[in-house]
Structure 1
Amino acid sequence: MSSTAADVLRLLTARGETLAVAESLTGGLVAAEITATPGASQAFRGSVTAYATALKRELLGVDGTLLATRGAVDPQVAAQMAAGVRKALGADWGIATTGVAGPDPQDGQPVGTVFVAVDGPADTDSGGRGGGKVSSLRLNGDRAEIRRESVRSVLALLLTELAGEQTGNERTQDTEQNGGT
């Protein structure tokens, strides 16, 4: 269990908010990381592992034209996955992962191209804060390392959003990362 997952769950539970997860390249690893934390059921609603592109459209409501023109490895797809799982599972927050873990490129994107997204409640009290954030990652390493770093990155992005809302800070994460080990 990661301390990031525990911190996310602590903040969500304290606020009485819930989380849903949409995963592609991570294949359930984000949900596993969250549920490894005792008491996760207080905030975790569930997850959808939409590995097949068609499921992203059918279960998560990702725009079919977007998928047809851009493919599944795209920042807008990640954002729509996060929003879609949030809506489908009735959660306050949705997070999503999509990308290429390897060994081969996909949708014209090289191995290590990953997009992680967070979709949360719009907070009108702080000038419309909330909504969606996407982080673009360029990761190195083997398949397992890329998947592991994707899990860490999506949880860190959510933690940043939760902490930013808590303090009222405008903090965003838009990173190009190298590494992954």
Structure 2
Amino acid sequence: MGTDSASPVEPPVPTSAATLLDVLAARGWTLAVAESLTGGLVSATLVEVPGASAVLRGAVVAYATDLKGTLLGVDPALLDARGAVDPDVAAAMARGVRERLGADVGLATTGVAGPTPQDGHPPGTVHVAVVTAGTVRVASLRLGGDRAAVRGGAVDAVLALALDVLR
């Protein structure tokens, strides 16, 4: 009796990740990602795309608030005054990862995945940011669902915002 040898099945790649990487590659631009509530999901989504290494420089998961300051250069006074769940913190994270990783574009996610509030913000509060040499764009959202849905929604939101900025 022989065994059937199946080819490995590749997981589906979200269209927005592949499209974003294509747009960046066409410009000759690189990308860096700073993540908090998504905990690496943005970068994982990007690296599922074959050839992502031609564009993606790297990612920083700064889950703890203090790491947003030490690793990404977010002003500690801003973090003390507003906490980590803030649109200006998202922008500073994107700016910091762009600078520190030497990329043309920086993306960032911060927010509350739940199930409990954080610093007075309810679950589903999300801020995503995209920073280039000439642009800073932030989107603030209120996403529904459980932790997985909020985190997945944040990934979709930051990729969509990046595509919007670059088009």
Give the gaps of 5 or more residues in structure 1.
123-130, 164-181
Query: What is the CA distance between 1:133 and its match in structure 2?
Result: 0.4
Q: TM-score under structure 2 normalisation?
A: 0.92
| TM-score calculated relative to the size of structure 1 | 0.85
- 1:145 partnered with 2:149: yes
Match of 1:67 among 57, 66, 79: 79
Percent identity among equivalent residues? 62
Q: Deviations over 1:13-62 (max 9, x none)?
A: 11100000000000000000000000001110000000000000000000
List aligned pairs for 1:8-23, cutoff 5 A: 8-23=20-35
Q: Residue 28 of structure 1 is aligned with which of 40, 43, 49?
A: 40
- Partner residue, 2:140: 136
- 1:129-153 deviations in whole A, cap 9, x for unaligned? xx20000000110000000000000
Q: Please, which runs of 5 or more residues in structure 2 have no aligned partner?
A: 1-12
Detail structure 1 runs of 4+ shifted over 6 Å in the superposition: none
Q: 1:114 aligns with which of 126, 134, 139?
A: 126
Number of aligned positions between the proteins: 155
Q: State the SS of the aligned residue for 1:60.
A: coil
Matched with 2:164 is 160
Aligned Cα root-mean-square deviation (Å):
0.5
Q: C-alpha separation between the residues in 2 aligned to 1:70 and 1:49?
A: 20
Paired residue for 1:48, among 42, 60, 64?
60
SS across alignment from 2:71: helix
